[in-house]
Amino acid sequence: MTVLPFISLVDVKEYLHWLTDVIQTHRGEQRICLREVPRQELEYEHILDSQQYALAKNLISASLTELVGVPLWTEHTRVDITNGASEVAIDTTAATYSKYAYIYCKDAQAIVELTTVGDSVLRFAAPVDADYRDALICPLREGRITEHGFERLQNDIIKLSVTYLITDTADIAVDNLPKYQGFGVWEQCGLNGVSERIDRPVDVVDNGISYQSPIATTTYTAHVQQLKMLLEGGQDLFKVRKWLHYLKGRQKPFWLPTWSNDYQPVSDINASDTDIVVKNVGLSKVAGVRHAMIKTKGGSHFVKILQAVGSGSTETITLSQPVRVGIALADIDCFCSLSLVRLSQDAVEIEHIEKQRARIGLALREVSDADLV
């Protein structure tokens, strides 16, 4: 198996592509997943000297129609492996090891076949035949080169850009979120920016003479959001990646908190309360059931708001059932709205800006309460 033996620069872009058929109706939508495991693309950049440049041209020329080995540099671990070793002790819980691993150091590289992938150990099918000091080890996948380009910089330095399409993408889907009404709640607040607008699809009747007449094509109003996350730490990043695989693009919805104090109670909440008096934010003017999260220092509580009645500077919200625990005002971190949303695109970009640190941008669209039936 051919591998380009050059370590990638820190910035790596990863793209996940699902395929979903969304059938829109007046009251809701039906979503059919057509691609269970996403297509995965990786964009690497390498800095080469003149000898490496010559080697890269020859390897790429010979491999454009063949499958090649693709090291997953974003999942690497630094290790020392001695000659004759048949295993290495590393944490694999935030990596996607499968059949092969790639060992890289400046003077030597190796492809090793794996017989055991444990949470804290990799065992090799055969002992290694060299010393690998201060080396990097990472999962090795199969893929093909879909794009590449060389850019000559100054002093005989060349930048190589390569895009791979992985052909054996690991399915790491895990339903790892707390549940409310059968759907996961995204409680992790790694937000690095949110933009949103309110959308109601309409057909506009215009005869060119009188005023235009809008006709709603759905029975519900949707929030459309652009969510940006900055994730720190390998485990947090891997948790999000597993969750994205579980969503399967546009197919599965989840609950998204606003993470703002949308509702501010004026007094403590008793365990038996179904009516809570909050500062008036105009909820009584909006018809329909709403959902919310009360985030406290001891955990999260999810509630359904049946109605709201305004009275001056306050309004009384009625819950479908009591919270069943007393909550002091001082213990409330936030009392915020929950929206049932899905991805509005089947493509997700993960920008790895350094090891165990990444930016992810998600385009989201609210779905109707028909999903809750």
Contact present, 220 and 290 (Cβ < 8 Å): no
The last residue of one of the domains, among 113, 138, 166, is 166
Indicate the residue among 101, 134, 166 that finishes a domain. Answer: 166
Cβ(296)–Cβ(336) below 8 Å? no
Q: Which pTM was predicted?
A: 0.89
Mean pLDDT of 286-310: 92
Check residue 4 and give its pLDDT.
Answer: 96
Instruction: Give me 363's structure tokens.
Output: 């385009």
Is there a single domain that holds both residue 194 and residue 335? Answer: yes
331 within a domain of the structure (yes/no): yes
Answer yes or no: is pLDDT of 101 > 80. yes
Residues 157 and 244 in one domain: no
- Show which of 139, 166, 193 is a domain's final residue: 166
Which domain, by its residues, includes 150?
12-166
Given this model, what pLDDT does residue 113 score?
97
Q: What is the C-alpha to C-alpha distance for residues 366 and 372, in angstroms, rounded to an integer?
A: 13
Q: Does residue 172 sit within a domain?
A: no
**How many C-beta atoms surround the C-beta of residue 202 within 10 A?**
13
- Residue linked to tokens 């546009």: 250
Phi then psi for residue 249, to 5 deg, are: 70, -130
167-179 pLDDT tens trace: 999 999 999 899 9
DSSP class of residue 297? T
Q: Are 227 and 313 in contact (CB under 8 A)?
A: no
Name the least confident of 49-63, 129-143, 215-229, 250-264.
215-229
Q: Is 79 left (phi over 0), alpha (psi -120 to 50) or beta?
A: beta
Residue 226 has pLDDT above 60, yes or no: yes
What average pLDDT does range 273-302 have in this prediction? 92
Is residue 159 predicted with pLDDT exceeding 80? yes
